[in-house]
Structure 1
Amino acid sequence: MNVRPASPADGPAIRDVARRSLQASYSLGPQAITSAIEEWYDEEQLEATLADGDRLLLVADDDGQIVGFSESVLAADNTGTLLWLHVDPAHRGVGNAASLFERTREQLRELGATHLQGRVLDDNVDGNTFYEEQGFERAGSEEIDIAGQTYVENLYTESERWGREPMETDEGRTVYVDHDNHERGSIAPFHVVYGGEDAEDRYGYFCSNCNTLANAMDSMGRIECDGCGNVRKPLRWDAAYL
């Protein structure tokens, strides 16, 4: 099996593998799966992903047949995040997932990643077990929206926890960036920022794409980084933070 960068011609095979994998591993309805694949891997989005230098899309090619793929992103703080790792159910159990994972990790490190993390939906038992078998530890969880439904997604990191890093605001106040607690952004993750080291007082967010603080939230829970345009889009459960 050859693990290589994806090309535009791999689009149909990537969508097919994603569909089979999601059907086998997740409690998602047919419409949710179809909507997710259209949103994440249609031709336009796939082209944008392949053109993004901070995105990594690798395919597992078994003698011309795509049997799996991984999608990752590298943030400006050198955090490499494995967003998805899919293997066709008919090709599982023979080491394809492990080979794809190891090559993805190598590629992220070659791109400059010094910290690695992975995300997997909570109801994917095999996926959670897989990260544990690779020596990763669960560092937290968050709710995400897929086709209008809320799901819990677990965050796994390599065994070393990164902790909270003090940072001074423009007003001279010391706040703490939690490198183990992230939320999705349109370009790169936002780290949660606390007003105290005890993590009881949430201050705002830290944009990992340009390493700046972003603490202005509108009435709908939307945050946009002034430095680079990275956006944390509001989701249904954001009303709890208004």
Structure 2
Amino acid sequence: MEVREATLDDQSAIQEIAERSLQASYTLSPQTIEGTVHQWYDNDKFTEKLDREDMLILVAEEGGDAVGFSEVVIHDDEAGADLLWLHVHPDHRGGGIGSDLFEAVRSRLQDRGIPQLRGRVLSMNEIGNAFYDDHGFEKVGEGEVEIDGRTYTEALYVEAEPTGLQPITTPEGKTVYVDHDDVDQGSIDVFHVVYNDEARTEQYGYYCAKCESLANAMDAMGRIECDTCGNSRKPTRWDAAYM
């Protein structure tokens, strides 16, 4: 897979990706989705976006075909940049394309000296919100966005400050270390990776943030479930790439 900056030739593909992605991720009417895609990505609007120095649109390409894209607006002050949209075509989800696009955005912004990346996602998109949690971001507030004449609530995320290791004692009296910088989204709350040593060389299991207990039972597909509260992590073959 290749990630590159968008060109005018990508306009029709980006429209299709956005429309199919919105259909898969949101409970919006077909008319609203069609109006939204036309409002944001018709030929004139897309050309305007590409000409703006404060915007960055990246395209993920596989086999010569565009399969996902991201849209970022960069602010003039020290406020950083906002990731407005990250769309992956539903037929290409599950392979980590969303994560690769996300990391490409961060890399390019770092190269340009942008101090901070914020994320925006509609509050109704549960997978999109979980995506930011999985990538070390925390929700800091809410805003509003107008879509086809209607106002919707969106969640605002910023990258969380690292919190490091926390030593805890297992029921057997062994000291293990909860890594608060390494999390996996569960069905109720996050799981933190737990290590046997401070150097993080050997993994012990997982720590359930919901009930503050250790969970080290994992099936062959990578599914984790907390015996205390039922919090569970989907199999690792499931990918959180969204929109």
TM-score normalized by the length of structure 2: 0.64
Query: Could you say which residue in structure 2 is the equivalent of 1:71?
Result: 71
Query: Could you say which residue in structure 1 is the equivalent of 2:49?
Result: 49
Query: Could you say which residue in structure 1 is the equivalent of 2:146?
Result: 145
- C-alpha separation in 1, matches of 2:149 and 2:126: 22
Q: State whether residues 17 and 67 of structure 2, in contact with CA within 8 Å, keep that contact through their aligned partners in structure 1.
A: yes
Which fold has the larger relative contact order, with Cα–Cα distance below 8 Å and residues 6 or more apart in sequence?
A: 2
Pair 1:84-2:85 in alignment: yes
Deviations 1:150-181 (A, max 9, x none): 211000001149xxxxxxxxxxxxxxxxxxxx
- C-alpha separation in 2, matches of 1:146 and 1:34: 11
Query: Could you say which residue in structure 2 is the equivalent of 1:99?
Result: 100
Query: Could you say which residue in structure 2 is the equivalent of 1:123?
Result: 124
Query: Could you say which residue in structure 1 is the equivalent of 2:208?
Result: none
Query: Could you say which residue in structure 2 is the equivalent of 1:136?
Result: 137
- C-alpha separation in 2, matches of 1:154 and 1:72: 16
For residue 32 of structure 1, report the CA deviation from its aligned partner: 0.8
| Number of corresponding residues | 161
Following TM superposition, the consecutive aligned residue runs of length 4 or more in structure 1 with deviations greater than 3 angstroms are: none
The 5 A counterparts of 1:120-199 are 120-160=121-161
Query: Could you say which residue in structure 2 is the equivalent of 1:18?
Result: 18
For residue 111 of structure 1, report the CA deviation from its aligned partner: 2.1
For residue 148 of structure 1, report the CA deviation from its aligned partner: 2.0
Q: State whether residues 39 and 148 of structure 2, in contact with CA within 8 Å, keep that contact through their aligned partners in structure 1.
A: no
For residue 133 of structure 1, report the CA deviation from its aligned partner: 0.3
Identity among equivalent pairs (%)? 48
- C-alpha separation in 1, matches of 2:152 and 2:39: 17
1:14 partner letter? I
1:116 partner letter? L
1:144 partner letter? V
Secondary structure of 2:69's aligned partner: strand
TM-score normalized by the length of structure 1: 0.65
- C-alpha separation in 2, matches of 1:142 and 1:54: 21
1:3 partner letter? V
Report the aligned-residue RMSD: 1.3
Pair 1:34-2:34 in alignment: yes
For residue 95 of structure 1, report the CA deviation from its aligned partner: 0.6
Deviations 1:162-211 (A, max 9, x none): xxxxxxxxxxxxxxxxxxxxxxxxxxxxxxxxxxxxxxxxxxxxxxxxxx
Secondary structure of 1:76's aligned partner: coil
2:152 partner letter? Y
2:94 partner letter? G
Deviations 1:59-115 (A, max 9, x none): 000011110000001101241110000000111111100000000111122222101
- C-alpha separation in 2, matches of 1:24 and 1:137: 24
For residue 149 of structure 1, report the CA deviation from its aligned partner: 1.9
- C-alpha separation in 2, matches of 1:88 and 1:32: 18
Secondary structure of 2:77's aligned partner: coil
Secondary structure of 2:94's aligned partner: coil
Query: Could you say which residue in structure 1 is the equivalent of 2:169?
Result: none
Unaligned residue ranges in structure 1 (runs of 5+): 162-242
Q: State whether residues 7 and 50 of structure 2, in contact with CA within 8 Å, keep that contact through their aligned partners in structure 1.
A: yes
Q: State whether residues 141 and 155 of structure 2, in contact with CA within 8 Å, keep that contact through their aligned partners in structure 1.
A: yes
Secondary structure of 2:114's aligned partner: coil
